[in-house]
Structure 1
Amino acid sequence: MRTKIRHYSFLSDDAGERSVLAMIQRFLGGKKRRGDERTFRDVHSDKAPVIVIPGCDAPIPLTNELTEMLHDVASELLQGKSVTVISSSVELTTQDAADILGISRPTLIRVLESGAIPFHTVGRHRRVQLDDVLEYQHRHQEKARVALDELAADEDPLLTLENPLIR
């Protein structure tokens, strides 16, 4: 059974809709930047975000994680970017996993066969867990970052400036 991944996009020219989304984004904007550990509740402790459900007696408070996620979704949508919502325990086809990693399916098959990402087969088809794909992506990005840091540390800026081939 193929997993359905839901994509959300907000591409409206309606100023009213954009205004509402911007208001939601500002309201939830306690966490301003990645690395800034302030949450909505830290900034607005007297105004904990809640969701009001018709027919329910009391508003339901949102967790910090859900508040931050909704803020990030609103921010991305306001910038015209697409947002994908998917459960982390989802089983993916090799094509879905390759799309997430930004590589071709044959390249992903080589990665799977090397043992870098665990997989199982359903009949003749390989399946992978989203958690495993995201873990591989994180490891791969971290490895690339370390390699670039080492490369940058090896370079002597004075030699680069004096190189006649680099101008």
Structure 2
Amino acid sequence: MDTLQRDDRATVSVSPREIEQARNVREFLGDRESPPAVTVETDVDRHLTMPPELAALVLRLVDLVGRGCTVTIGSIPNEVTTTVAAGMLGISRPSLMKLVREGKIPAHKVGSHTRLHSKDVLAFRRAQLEHQSKAFDELRALEEELGLRD
């Protein structure tokens, strides 16, 4: 496993052996709605069971590694500037400010500066992606209905 650390971001690339090990773990666990308990043992008498949220994160990483993905881990502050939020959404800052004025994304003032909570920006992004996916599915259904699709 090679790790490239830069500021608050680490990129980890894994070996073929680690990919195979991750696939074996993923197969062993199968498809589950809730993550299984993950226990870490350091000594014979010393072990810790991870909280479910952390176990879900670790198992998500194992899943990605098992697929051969390069995993990049970074931190996002709880509160972001409008420039950072616009970058997270892939839109211009003026477009973001329009969404804020329209009340589509909550924001607040810190002095004279507008700030957004990262969780709100990520929730808006998720909703955007779901909306786009739904629109794409509707377009494909219309193509099939009109006989435009092979």
Report the Cα offset of residue 38 of structure 1: 5.2
Structure-2 separation of matches of 1:9 and 1:132: 25
SS, match of residue 46 in structure 2: coil
Structure-1 separation of matches of 2:115 and 2:24: 40
Question: What TM-score, normalized by structure 2, do the two folds share?
Answer: 0.68
- Which segments of 5 or more consecutive residues in structure 1 lack a partner in the other structure? 42-47, 162-166
Structure 1 pair 21–68 and aligned structure 2 pair: CA distance change class (3 A): farther
- Which segments of 5 or more consecutive residues in structure 2 lack a partner in the other structure? 1-6
Structure 1 pair 96–133 and aligned structure 2 pair: CA distance change class (3 A): same
Q: How many residues align?
A: 141
Q: Is the 8 A contact 1:28 1:68 kept in 2?
A: no
Q: Is the 8 A contact 1:76 1:82 kept in 2?
A: no
SS, match of residue 97 in structure 2: helix
> What RMSD over aligned residues (CA atoms) do the two structures have, in Å?
3.4
**Who wins on radius of gyration, i.e. which is larger?**
1
Match of residue 136 from structure 1: 124
Which of residues 153, 157, 162 in structure 1 aligns to 2:141? 153
Structure 1 pair 65–22 and aligned structure 2 pair: CA distance change class (3 A): farther
Deviation digits for residues 29-48 of structure 1, max 9, x if unmatched?
3555xxx325563xxxxxx5
Match of residue 9 from structure 2: 7
Match of residue 100 from structure 1: 88
1:50 aligns with 2:39: yes
Identity between Structure 1 and Structure 2 (%)? 27
Which of the two has greater strand per residue?
Answer: 2
Q: Is the 8 A contact 1:93 1:127 kept in 2?
A: yes
Report the Cα offset of residue 122 of structure 1: 1.1
Structure-2 separation of matches of 1:126 and 1:22: 47
